[in-house]
Structure 1
Amino acid sequence: MLNRFKDFQKKRMEIFREIVKQGWDEKLSNYNLDELAKEIKEKYNYQDKDMTFIKDHIRVALGLDTKEDMNFSNEAQAALNHGQVKRPVVNKIEGACQYCGKEFETNDCYESCKYEAQMYKRTKGPIIVNDKCLSCGNCVSSCSFGAIADKIEFVPLLKLLKDETTPVYATVAPSIVGQFGDDITMGQLRTALKMLGFKDMIEVALFADMLTIKEAFEFNDLVNKQGDFFLTSCCCPVWIGLVENNYPQLFEHMSPALSPMVASGRVLKELYPEAKVVFIGPCIAKKSEAKEEEFREDIDFVLTFNELEEIFKAIDIDFNQLPGDEKDQASFAGRVYARTGGVSFSVKTVVNRIAPRRLIKFNAKKVDGVGKCKEILETLTQEEEIDANFIEGMGCEGGCVGGPRTNIEVDKATNMVNEYGEDSLIMTPFDNMNLIKILEELGADDIEEIAKDDKISSLLTR
C-alpha cells in the first residue's frame, strides 16, 4: 500500500515535467489537468481517496496554493496569469502523513525542522508555523511521502519568457557550476537559458563582489577594539532569519547588506527599468526571501537547480550540441561565496587591501549547518568570548553547495566551485572591470563609492 507514496520527489518532478512540456508548447491553458491527475493515480496505484493529494501537488507544481475543493477547471489558466507567486512557499499536502505508521518518530522527517518549531505531531499531518518557518527546505527534502512541498515558479514565468518585448535576466547563484554535468560549461548554460527566452545569464557572484567591498568597509568601521564583532553572511536567508527571529539582541551586529541575489535584481532594474529578474539557485529559502515585502520588486521569480534540470529535460535541450557563450563576470572571491568560508575569505582580501595596517586584525569564524549556527549564536548571547571578530554563518552544511535543491553532492560541488573560482581571470573585486563599468553607469567615479555613495549604498542595503 505504501509504495504509492514512497519516493514521491521523483513523482513530483514527473508531474512538473509534464506541465513544462504543455506550457512550452503553449497548450497548458487548455490542458486537462484532471487527466494528468488520473494518469498519475493509475501509474502509481493510488486510490480514489488520494485524488486531493495528487491534485494539490499539481497545484503546487503550477505555483498555486493548495485547495480543499476538487475543481480543476481554471487552475492552469490561473497559474499562467499569476503575476507573482505568493507566500507561503512551503505547503502542507493533506493525505500522506496518515500512512507513516505508528512509529513515525523514527522517520527522517520527524526531526527535520531545526528551528524549535516541531512540525510533526500526532495529527493528520505536519504543523507549519509560518512565523517560525524559515523555508530552509529541510523538511521538504526529508519527506519521501510528499506531505510537504514548495511551490514551483516556472509556469507564471512562461508568459514573460515568451514575450520578446520584456527583457528577462537569469541571475545564477555561484553554486551553479557543475550542477548540470561535469563537462557542461557556464557558457553552454548561458546558451541554454537564452533558448528558454532569457535575455542573458548574469553571475550573482558579480554582485557578491560588490557586497564584499561594502562589507569590508563596514567591518573596518565597526570593528575597532577587542570584543567588537561583525555578523554575516548576507547571502544566507536562513542564517539572517535565525538571528533576527531567535537572537534579536545580536541583530545590531549583523551586516545591513542585501543578499547578492536581491542586489542582482535591484541593480539590474536600476540599469534596465523594464527588466524582469529570475534567480536560479540551490535554495528553497531564496523563494521566501524574494517574497519579503521589501524585496518583492527586486526579484520576480526563483527557480532551483533541480527544477531547471527538469525544464531542460522537458524541452529536450541537448548540452552536447550547444556552443558555449563564455564570459568572465566575477572574481575568484565572488565565486567562492558558494561554499563555507568563501565570504570570510573574500571580505578578508578586501579588508587587507583597504586597511593593511589595522591594529585589530580580521579574524573569521566560519560555521555551517543550523546546529553550529545556533551554537555560536548562543555563545555570543551569553557574552562568552570567542576568538573571532567576523562570524560567517551558513544554514546548509557546506554552504550553498549543500542546499536542498542541488543536483550533485556537497564535496564534489565544493571542488567544482573552487576550480571555477580559480579559472576566473579576475582575482579580487577591486580588479573586476565589469563591476567598475556598472558603477560608472550608476554615476560613480570610484570603486570605493560602493560604501560611500548614498545612492549606490542604498541599492545594496536592506
Structure 2
Amino acid sequence: MYIFGELVKRYWNGKLNHINDLNQLADEIKDKFSFESQDMPFIKNHIRIAMGLDPKGDDDFKNELDIIKDAKEIGQPVVTKIDGACEHCDEENCKCVEACKYEANIYKRQKEPVIINNKCLSCGYCVTSCDFGALADKIEFIPVIDLLKDNKVQVYAVVAPAIVGQFGEDVSMGQLRTALKILGFQDMIEVALFADILTIKEAFEFSHLVKTEEDFFLTSCCCPVWFNLTKKSYPDIFQFMSPTVSPMIASGRILKKLYKDVKVVFIAPCIAKKAEIKEPGLKGDIDFVLNFRELDEIFRALEINLQDLPSSDKDQASFGGRVYARTGGVSFSVKTVVNRLEPTRLIKLKAKKVDGVQKCKMILDDLSNKKNINYNFIEGMGCNGGCVGGPRTNIDIEKATKLVNEFGEDSLIMTPFDNLNVMKILKQIGIKSIDEIMDKKEVIQLLTRE
C-alpha cells in the first residue's frame, strides 16, 4: 500500500507528470526498503499495477502516464503476476500453491506463478496469501482522480453493505459520505438500496419457479465467485440460477439511466468485483472498483481524518438490504418479501446458506447428484462469512458481522417492501405496479443479465 499511497499523493497534487517523476519514485522506494539495483524491474512493475496497468518485461518507464490519463477502464486480467519475486520464496512452504480454493489455478512453477485465467474466479485469496508480492490485483484509482477533478463530470460512489465499521467503529456512514464528497464524489449511495430492489425481483422469481417440493432456485444476487463457479463448472445447475444482475451492476445501470453521463465507482471488500465489471454484457455499468484497503490508504495519503468530519446521514436501505453483507442476508431478505407476496403459500422458502468456495462446491455437487436436497433456495458466498470476510477488508469477520447487523437494525425500514426509496426509483424507471418488475421490457433490461 505504500507505493499506492505515494502515487495517490503525488498524482493528486500534480507532482506526477513525467517519466522522470515515476523514476524518482522508484528510486525512493529502492532506497527506503533497501532493495538492490536488480530489484528495479520488480519495483517498477508494482508501480504500474498500483496505477492500474499491466506489468512489463523490462524496467523502463515509457508512456505509462499517457496511457492511464486516457484510460476509460482497467483491463483484464485483474489478478496479475510479477516476475522475480518467487526467487526469494521457499518453494516447500509457498502459500500461493495452496491459497486457491478452486482447483489450485494459481500455482508456482519454476521461477514464477502461473495464472490460468479461464478458470480463475478472481477471488483474490492468492494475492493476500503471497508474502513476496509475486501476485497483485490492479488498483483502479489513478484514472478516478482525473474524473473527480473534472468539474464537468459527476461521479457517484456506491458502497457495498459490508463497508460499515471498516474505517473505525467510531466512524459513521455519514462521516464516510462527507469524506467521499471532500474527494469530489457527487454523493455516496448504499448499494443495499439496490439490493432491496433485486430482493423484490428474486422473490417474484422464486414464487414463479418454485411450485413443487422438487423445485429449487439459486440466488445470483451478490457474489461473482459463486456465480462464475456455478456457470463454469456446473452448467446443469446454472439453469436454475436467477438471471438477475448483482446489486452493484443494478446500481450503475439505474444511476446512469436517471442521471446523464455520470460515472459510478463501486467500493467493496472484493477483488472479484473488479473482474465482474469487465464481463461481456456488464462492461460500462460500473466504471471502476475500489476496495476498502485502497480507500483507507487514499484517506491516509490525502490526510482526511474521518473522525473529525461532520456526519451527513441518510436512511437509504432496509434491514434486509444491509445484511446482504453477511452469510444468510440474501436468504433472509428474499424470504421476508416472499412471505409478503404470498402469505398463504404452500411451498415455503427453505434456504440453504453456504460460504467459502469449498462449501459452495460441496453444495453444487450435492445438487448435481440430487443428494440431500431438502431446501429450495440456495445462497452461495465465495468468502467465509460472506462479503464481511472479503480479501480486502480492514477488520475481522466477527466484528464486521456484528457491526453490519447493528447497522441493519438501525434502519427505520424493515423490509424492501417498506422502502419508499425503492418505490420512488421504480416509479422513475417506469414501473407503476410492483408486478411489472418481472415483465416490463425496460426494467428487465436494467435488472437482468444478457
What SS does the corresponding residue of 2:324 show, helix, strand or coil?
helix
Which residue of structure 2 aligns with residue 400 of structure 1? Answer: 387
Measured after TM superposition, the shift of residue 386 of structure 1 is 1.4
Q: Distance in 2 between the 1:445 and 1:275 partners?
A: 25
Q: Say yes or no: does 1:17 pair with 2:5.
A: yes
Which residue of structure 1 aligns with residue 282 of structure 2? Answer: 295
Which residue of structure 1 aligns with residue 41 of structure 2? Answer: 52
Which residue of structure 1 aligns with residue 24 of structure 2? Answer: 35
Q: Distance in 2 between the 1:25 and 1:122 partners?
A: 42
Q: Tell me, yes or no, if the aligned pair for 2:220 and 2:244 is still in contact at 8 Å.
A: no
Matches within 5 A, 1:312-461: 312-461=299-448
Measured after TM superposition, the shift of residue 305 of structure 1 is 0.4
What SS does the corresponding residue of 1:448 show, helix, strand or coil?
helix
Q: Tell me, yes or no, if the aligned pair for 1:80 and 1:158 is still in contact at 8 Å.
A: no
Measured after TM superposition, the shift of residue 73 of structure 1 is 3.8
- TM-score w.r.t. the length of structure 1 is 0.95
Report which stretch shifted further, 64-73 or 223-232. 64-73
Report the count of equivalent residues: 448
Q: Deviations over 1:50-103 (max 9, x none)?
A: 1111110000000011111222143223222212111111111001111112xx
Q: Distance in 2 between the 1:117 and 1:29 partners?
A: 41
Report which stretch shifted further, 319-328 or 173-182. 319-328
Which residue of structure 2 aligns with residue 232 of structure 1? Answer: 219
Q: Tell me, yes or no, if the aligned pair for 2:15 and 2:21 is still in contact at 8 Å.
A: no
Q: Deviations over 1:308-365 (max 9, x none)?
A: 0000001100122211110000000000000000000000000000011111111000
Q: Distance in 2 between the 1:121 and 1:96 partners?
A: 11
What SS does the corresponding residue of 2:367 show, helix, strand or coil?
helix
Which residue of structure 1 aligns with residue 103 of structure 2? Answer: 116
Q: Say yes or no: does 1:63 pair with 2:52.
A: yes
Percent identity of the aligned residues? 63
Q: Deviations over 1:340-398 (max 9, x none)?
A: 00000000000000011111111000000011100111111112231210010000000
Q: Say yes or no: does 1:308 pair with 2:295.
A: yes
Q: Tell me, yes or no, if the aligned pair for 2:83 and 2:134 is still in contact at 8 Å.
A: yes
- TM-score w.r.t. the length of structure 2 is 0.98
Q: Distance in 2 between the 1:37 and 1:14 partners?
A: 12
Q: Tell me, yes or no, if the aligned pair for 1:91 and 1:149 is still in contact at 8 Å.
A: yes
Q: Which runs of 4+ in 1 moved over 3 A?
A: none
Matches within 5 A, 1:162-311: 162-311=149-298
Q: Deviations over 1:268-320 (max 9, x none)?
A: 00111211100000000000001112111100000000000000001100122
What SS does the corresponding residue of 1:126 show, helix, strand or coil?
strand
Which residue of structure 2 aligns with residue 7 of structure 1? Answer: none
Q: Tell me, yes or no, if the aligned pair for 2:292 and 2:393 is still in contact at 8 Å.
A: yes
Which residue of structure 2 aligns with residue 3 of structure 1? Answer: none
Unmatched segments (≥5 aa) in structure 2: none
- The letter for the 1-side match of 2:38 is K
- Taking only aligned residues, the RMSD between alpha carbons, in angstroms, comes to 1.1
Measured after TM superposition, the shift of residue 26 of structure 1 is 2.0
- The letter for the 2-side match of 1:140 is V
Report which stretch shifted further, 234-243 or 314-323. 314-323
Which residue of structure 2 aligns with residue 8 of structure 1? Answer: none
Matches within 5 A, 1:106-145: 106-145=93-132
What SS does the corresponding residue of 2:112 show, helix, strand or coil?
coil
What SS does the corresponding residue of 1:228 show, helix, strand or coil?
coil
Q: Distance in 2 between the 1:453 and 1:126 partners?
A: 48
Q: Tell me, yes or no, if the aligned pair for 1:174 and 1:203 is still in contact at 8 Å.
A: yes
Q: Tell me, yes or no, if the aligned pair for 2:98 and 2:104 is still in contact at 8 Å.
A: no
Q: Distance in 1 between the 2:433 and 2:184 partners?
A: 35
Unmatched segments (≥5 aa) in structure 1: 1-12
Q: Say yes or no: does 1:146 pair with 2:133.
A: yes
Which residue of structure 1 aligns with residue 61 of structure 2? Answer: 72
Q: Distance in 2 between the 1:342 and 1:454 partners?
A: 29
